[in-house]
Amino acid sequence: DAKTTQPTSMDCAEGRAANLPCNHSTISGNEYVYWYRQIHSQGPQYIIHGLKNNETNEMASLIITEDRKSSTLILPHATLRDTAVYYCIVSTSGTYKYIFGTGTRLKVLA
């Protein structure tokens, strides 16, 4: 599975969009990009995933570059409850292996 690189930490003002980048330059054609977050020390929570098209759900949007070497998770109107560690993972279905890096610690400021 491809490796991902994320910034260690980011701050975002409450109510503003939070844009979290992820680099996955070695991604292969059948690997999906998944985003999870972990609030305090709770279990990771699924946010969104995509292959090559941009995706949106009730929590976030995922923008994947055309060459698929990077992606951005967008929280459109960040709230204090979005303060968490965000993990970007690339994985192939059927390998049963997510590789978690250290993620991006997002702090939403009042």
Partner 1 sequence: NAGVTQTPKFQVLKTGQSMTLQCAQDMNHNSMYWYRQDPGMGLRLIYYSASEGTTDKGEVPNGYNVSRLNKREFSLRLESAAPSQTSVYFCASSEKDGSTDTQYFGPGTRLTVL
Q: Is 44 in the site for partner 1 (CB under 8 A)?
A: yes
Of 49 and 107, which has the nearer Cβ to partner 1?
49
Pairing of strands 84-91, 104-109: antiparallel
Residue 45 as a binder of partner 1 (CB under 8 A): the answer is yes
52 touches partner 1 (CB under 8 A): no
Strands of 6-110 (E only): list them: 9-13, 18-23, 32-38, 45-50, 55-56, 61-64, 70-75, 84-91, 104-109
State yes or no: residue 32 binds partner 1 (CB under 8 A). Answer: yes
**Residue with smaller CB distance to partner 1, 93 or 110:** 93
Token digits for 18?
């939070």
Nearest-angstrom CA–CA distance, 50 and 109: 29
Pick the binder of partner 1 from 12, 103, 104, 108 (CB under 8 A): 103
- Residues 83-102 binding partner 1 (CB under 8 A) are 87, 93-94, 96-98, 100-102
